[in-house]
Amino acid sequence: MEVVIVADAEAGGELIAEAMAQLLRRKPGALLGVATGSTPLPVYRALTAKVEAGAVDTSRARVAQLDEYVGLPADHPESYRSVLRRQVLEPLGIGMDAFMGPDGTAGDVQAACEAYDRELAAAGGVDLQLLGIGTDGHIGFNEPCSSLASRTRIKTLTEQTLRDNARFFDGDIAQVPHHVITQGIGTILEARHLVLLATGEGKADAVAATVEGPVAAVCPASALQLHPHATVVVDEAAASKL
Ligand code: GLP
């Protein structure tokens, strides 16, 4: 695992956007795994700037979703599909035909999860998976004590994650869906390159457990230690407990 400490979130965003741009120059049809949350926004902004400047071509790029709420209609503004369309696909000029994600509205959620794992594999696998991290060390929505070998499946959010995510639902915890679909940790580990971005002091404990703690299900992100090509990009504040 490579740990890169940058001055701030913008510098982290630029570094990762450049890695994505280089990947797309090498492999124009690359499959980019993207994450939601506030942390990756500087990455998407920096990559969009490169596209607008003509420094990278996204016309053949493909995008894969990491996780999704169960039960939110796909066109709900806070479904992760909608969020990614707004924050990633539209700015980068990538159409929904080049997007893949799990169906959070499926009648048979388990079948939808298995179908998504098959879809990812059939697409040739994720080339670069961008990850944020929860304050409890979760990646995607793999909450603490998720199996390190898990596949895409339904999960129940912890109280802490419900509280953390209430800000996207008018601050009202009652509106946050309790169930989610997430790529499993085993699924995530199949991506060729994992890039985790963490910024701000609130992530310092989770970053320390990820980088310096034992590989353990209590900190799902620590599974990155098992990956042959994992990069953890942290700003000074998130690195403060290393
Ligand atoms: C959610 C997402 C994660 C994300 C986390 C952190 O739980 N499912 O993928 O990493 O939020 O969000 P933020 O970056 O806003 O702190």
**pLDDT per position as a tens digit, 220-229:** 999 999 999 9
Report the residue among 36, 178, 185 best suited for mutation to probe ligand 1: largest number of ligand atoms under 8 A from its CB.
Answer: 36
pLDDT of 74 reads: 84
If you measure from the C-alpha of residue 135 to the centroid of ligand 1, how many angstroms do you get, rounded to a whole number?
9
138 included as an active-site residue = yes
Residues constituting the chain:
242
**pLDDT per position as a tens digit, 167-191:** 999 999 999 999 999 999 999 999 9
Phi, psi at 99, each rounded to 5°: -115, 140
**pLDDT per position as a tens digit, 72-87:** 988 899 999 999 999 9
ipTM for the whole complex: 0.95
Report the residue among 44, 138, 142 best suited for mutation to probe ligand 1: largest number of ligand atoms under 8 A from its CB.
Answer: 138
Is the distance from the beta carbon of residue 221 to the nearest atom of ligand 1 less than 6 Å? no
Average pLDDT over residues 142-160: 96
Tokens of 107: 């009648």
Active-site option among 14, 67, 117, 235: 67
**Cα 31 vs. chain centroid, distance in angstroms?**
13
**pLDDT per position as a tens digit, 27-69:** 999 999 999 999 999 999 999 999 999 999 999 999 999 999 9
Q: What is the distance between the alpha carbons of residues 183 and 174, in angstroms, rounded to a whole number? A: 24
Residue pair 179/193 in contact (Cβ under 8 Å)? The answer is no
CB atoms within 10 A of CB 111: 11
Average pLDDT over residues 140-164: 95
CATH T-level fold of 2-214: Rossmann fold (3.40.50)
Active-site option among 103, 127, 136, 164: 136
Tokens of 82: 């909608």
Please give the single-letter amino acid code of residue 111: A
Inter-CA distances, 233 with 147, 180, 196, Å: 24, 26, 6
pLDDT of 220 reads: 98
pLDDT of 201 reads: 98
